[in-house]
Structure 1
Amino acid sequence: MSTSMRVMELVRFGGAEDAFAARELPRPTPGPGQVLVRVLATSVNPLDLQTRRGDYRDQVALPAVIGNDVSGVVVGTGPGADDFRPGDEVWYLAPVFVGQGTYAEFHVVDQALVARKPAGLSHAEAAGLALVGVTAWEALVERAGVKAGERVLVHGGAGGVGSAAIQVAHALGAEVVTTARAKDHGFVTGLGADTVIDFSAGDYVPQVRELGGVNVVLDTVGRDTLTRSPEVLADRGRVVSIVDTPEPQNLLAAWGVNATYHFLFVSPGRAKLEALDRLVDRGELRPDIGAVLPLGEIAEAHTLLEGGSAGEGRRRPRGKIAIAVQPELG
């Protein structure tokens, strides 16, 4: 058996075109409580783009293997890792900025972060759901505590986290309001959105106020969302932002509605994946996979996600871009 593996390594910060190089690295060995997973699929997220550009260069030393989503098969276990056996199909969100990432044929992870792959999802779909699904669950359930009958505003409903959040909020029994471009209205309505606002056609605040405001705002877009959220929040409303917005935000108005703000940098965990699995099993959650590219085209995948064009005249699809790490998924 080969002791090496193929990876796409980040070798320089900046544009996607010359940021990655194909390399052969030693296959990792699972330690105590860890499992070795043959990665069948991963995906590309905005976090990956920020990492590649150098936004987190203090946390990432080059050269580095980045990426955080995994769907694959257990091929080995370390001492004390008794939850899984070789051959088990699993999925997980790898810890951010900790150890080797997932643009690789094999990955080692603590078994406590791993769950069995939802039977109703392909490996590409599971990889496309891991980070965005866990983020949506943590934002709406663990931070905002969304309850049935509440009204939730999801900014950027057609995006990866936004599309997952609409489905999670709908499954929780909330009334879902979202912002999306006109071309995506049918898509987000199909996910469970009750009201869709075209953010490109005018100010969303008066339209949300006409509905009576919202109990929860999920910010996936940044800009002035934090400052303006008190304008649409009911008393004791909650705001959860997943955007590291560097611009100063004036939150003085939040006092007037007793608002609570949560700033979320997602953390992995088996319980969250199992909760998502239950939604998948009930038909209440499914990822939108817009394209599947091979691992060798990781630079093209980054270019597409940034809204540019890649090889063969490809343009950015709606939905997640999954990466087929193994040829059988290509």
Structure 2
Amino acid sequence: MSVEASSVNGHDVLVRAGELKIVSGRRFPIGVGLDFAGVVAATGADVKDYRVGERVWGMVHPRQRHTTGGAAEYVVVPADRIVPAPASISPVDAASLVVAGATALIALRDTVHVVSGERVLVRGAAGGVGTAAVQLAHALGCHVTALARDRHAQVLTDLGADEVLDYGSTTSDQIGPFDVIVDTVGSELKCYRRRLTKGGRMVTVGLSAGALAAIAASSVYGARRIRTFSANPETAMLRDLADHVTSGALRPVVDSVYSLADIAAAHQSFERGGGVGKHVVEVSA
């Protein structure tokens, strides 16, 4: 695969920091970049569904040890890790949506099984997963409350949020209750879980030692426990994601674009936070 663009995700930062050695291994080189958009450069003898020169998007396996990630000039992946990329968006925009969009879709549709008409809170709504979750929850017919920095209110409203709350001045006990909470932050999970309705569900993708403890402790609440998952989209999910892009239900939100030579700056900016949408690494212009 000739890579045109890849995005920066939390998983990439953890790999670079050496905190996922069980996944990445301890031997160098270790590549970063879970997702990619690009062009098929060559195919194996048994690959019949793709042709050289076809534009695709996809994702390397997050738990597979690999020396080359998506942030590279070329990457080798199984055919079931890619699908044709939406023709309506650029490679940079496509790369911004693979992990973020798939994570949001799995969270809403497959983990908490959101239903039209429900009240949904997206916490950390200005990030990559957050902006995708706001759009998808809106497209699924939900009333969406976005919790983010106040300066991102207009962007989130344009994406479909019915209400935007400033996380700097809004505490968990001032809001809700909600039928569904999608958390991308990973802190204060117990406090937010209390803002669920009687039949409410909560999912978090912001994992840390504290978050894992809160998730485990919440199991006593049954259906109202805090859920989590490992986003590992294959062909069917990537096709569903492309359909949402084509229909206009999901559009890219790109904070900034860096060259491959400046990938260190992309990671530094990601870790500082404060932006809206994704940081994308453009490999070939």
- The TM-score with structure 1 as length reference comes to 0.80
Amino acid at match of 2:205: I
Residue number in structure 2 paired with 1:229: 192
Residue number in structure 1 paired with 2:5: 41
How many angstroms does 1:127 deviate by? 0.6
Correspondence list, 1:259-278, <5 A:
259-278=224-243
Kept in 2, the 8 Å contact 1:237–1:257? The answer is: no
User: Is 1:296 aligned to residue 273 of structure 2?
Assistant: no
1:164 corresponds, among 112, 125, 132, to: 132
Residue number in structure 2 paired with 1:306: 271
User: Is 1:64 aligned to residue 27 of structure 2?
Assistant: no
CA spacing shift, 1:253–1:109, aligned 2, 3 Å = closer
Amino acid at match of 1:318: V
Amino acid at match of 1:237: G
Amino acid at match of 2:206: V
Kept in 2, the 8 Å contact 1:197–1:204? The answer is: no
The C-alpha deviation readout for 1:194-231, integer Å capped at 9, x for no partner, is: 111111113133222xxxx2111111001112x12332
Kept in 1, the 8 Å contact 2:122–2:147? The answer is: yes
1:122 corresponds, among 90, 95, 106, to: 90
How many angstroms does 1:84 deviate by? 0.6
Whole-angstrom CA distance in 2 between matches of 1:197 and 1:151? 14
Residue number in structure 2 paired with 1:319: 277
Whole-angstrom CA distance in 2 between matches of 1:165 and 1:136? 5
Amino acid at match of 1:67: G
CA spacing shift, 1:317–1:202, aligned 2, 3 Å = closer
How many angstroms does 1:307 deviate by? 1.7
Work out the percentage of aligned pairs sharing the same amino acid.
35
- The TM-score with structure 2 as length reference comes to 0.92
Whole-angstrom CA distance in 2 between matches of 1:293 and 1:191? 24
Whole-angstrom CA distance in 2 between matches of 1:84 and 1:74? 8
How many angstroms does 1:128 deviate by? 0.9
Correspondence list, 1:89-238, <5 A:
89-98=55-64, 99=66, 100-208=68-176, 213-225=177-189, 227-238=190-201
How many angstroms does 1:151 deviate by? 1.3
CA spacing shift, 1:317–1:206, aligned 2, 3 Å = closer
Kept in 2, the 8 Å contact 1:94–1:268? The answer is: no
Classify the secondary structure of the residue corresponding to 1:173.
Answer: coil
Kept in 2, the 8 Å contact 1:219–1:243? The answer is: yes
Structure 1 runs of 4+ with >3 Å offset: 250-258
CA spacing shift, 1:224–1:317, aligned 2, 3 Å = closer
CA spacing shift, 1:73–1:239, aligned 2, 3 Å = same
CA spacing shift, 1:292–1:138, aligned 2, 3 Å = same
Higher fraction of strand? 1
Kept in 2, the 8 Å contact 1:233–1:257? The answer is: no
How many angstroms does 1:251 deviate by? 7.3
Residue number in structure 1 paired with 2:43: 77
Residue number in structure 2 paired with 1:244: 207
Kept in 1, the 8 Å contact 2:3–2:283? The answer is: yes
Whole-angstrom CA distance in 1 between matches of 2:2 and 2:218? 50
Whole-angstrom CA distance in 2 between matches of 1:256 and 1:76? 50
CA spacing shift, 1:306–1:274, aligned 2, 3 Å = same
**What is the aligned length?**
279
Whole-angstrom CA distance in 2 between matches of 1:118 and 1:300? 28
Classify the secondary structure of the residue corresponding to 2:40.
Answer: strand
